[in-house]
Structure 1
Amino acid sequence: MRIVPYEGHDSDSIVELITSIQIDEFGVATSAQKQPDLRNITQFYQQGAGNFWLAFDGDTLIGTIALKDVGDGVCALRKMFVKREYRGGGAGVAASLMQTLLDWARSRGVQSIYLGTVDVYHAAHRFYEKSGFTEVERSEVPDSIPLMDVDVKFYRYCVPE
């Protein structure tokens, strides 16, 4: 497995991986059209302290994770998805993606990272908590954090110096 920053990779495969997990696997009421950021990764994510990473097994895209800089040392964790057959502690894909993002954030002076997620991603909730994120109320999430209509659980990570 290798993790690389997005550099003009095929956006169709990124959209397919993410939407197939959201819609087909978990039944989330969303679409590719509701996520225009996936067709504009460089401008949406790769600004300031932000970035977008892809995990590959050979030439096969198996995971994604993104950090969106919203200013003042605050970022949003977005688009963390791992192909079903690569999930779980044994594969280490999610942990490697998360470590890549947290190391990047720390090296760029990010102070806190927020995320919103849907209620059906139970394993993801446990993973975020195990990774040091704490659940917060929606009212504690800065308005500058981009959220999806379907997000109902919210987390914050305080980046150690």
Structure 2
Amino acid sequence: MISIEPASHTHKDALIALILQIQRQEFGLASSLADLPDLADIAHYYRSAGGDFWVALCGDEVVGTLGLRCIGQQQGALRKLYVKASYRGAQHGIATLLMARLLTAAHAAQIHTLYLATTEKFAAACRYYEKTGFSQVTLESLPAAFPRIPQETRFYTRKID
């Protein structure tokens, strides 16, 4: 049974390991812990402005992650949607569960527009974002407050009703 919960300090090492494993081993990105400064203090980075960071759990195992950072002007940044390879796909529905939690939180925080950044190496993720109502935009159309890292080359937005 999969559950979606706010990340706690007990999940920190496992969620960082999951994200780095996917970035490095599956996609060959030269990522390090230094590229994940937001995860050093999840409460401050995500929660202090009204966002959150969630983990998908199968028992005690972290099998997915997703963060929402409020960036002002009723805008939010979707960050770190990752699902462990063996838990991907519609049969598990983890990305859908995480996205539903994020959309509920965004609505409660009165966010009307979401932005996200990814890399074209994450082709399946790009297809998922497009399937769930995100439209590709240019780097120049991102709000100034949107948090970026150099590896990100594809950008998306979605309006929330």
TM class, shorter-length: over 0.9
Q: CA RMSD in A?
A: 1.0
Q: d(CA) in 1 for partners of 2:88 and 2:21?
A: 15
Q: d(CA) in 2 for partners of 1:7 and 1:60?
A: 13
Q: Which of 109-118 and 41-50 deviates more?
A: 41-50
Q: d(CA) in 2 for partners of 1:9 and 1:158?
A: 33
Q: d(CA) in 1 for partners of 2:59 and 2:121?
A: 30
2:66 is equivalent to residue 56 of structure 1? no
C-alpha contact 2:51 2:109 (8 A) present in aligned 1:
no
C-alpha contact 2:75 2:112 (8 A) present in aligned 1:
yes
C-alpha contact 1:135 1:156 (8 A) present in aligned 2:
yes
C-alpha contact 2:78 2:114 (8 A) present in aligned 1:
yes
Matched residue, 2:149: 148
Q: d(CA) in 2 for partners of 1:103 and 1:10?
A: 22
Matched residue, 1:34: 35
Q: d(CA) in 1 for partners of 2:94 and 2:59?
A: 13
Instruction: Give the fraction of aligned pairs with identical amino acids, expressed as a percent.
Output: 37
C-alpha contact 1:49 1:110 (8 A) present in aligned 2:
no
Unaligned 5+ runs, structure 1: none
Unaligned 5+ runs, structure 2: none
Q: d(CA) in 1 for partners of 2:106 and 2:50?
A: 7
Misfit runs of 4+, over 2 Å: 7-10
Matched residue, 1:98: 99
How many residues of Structure 1 are paired with residues of Structure 2 in the alignment?
Answer: 160
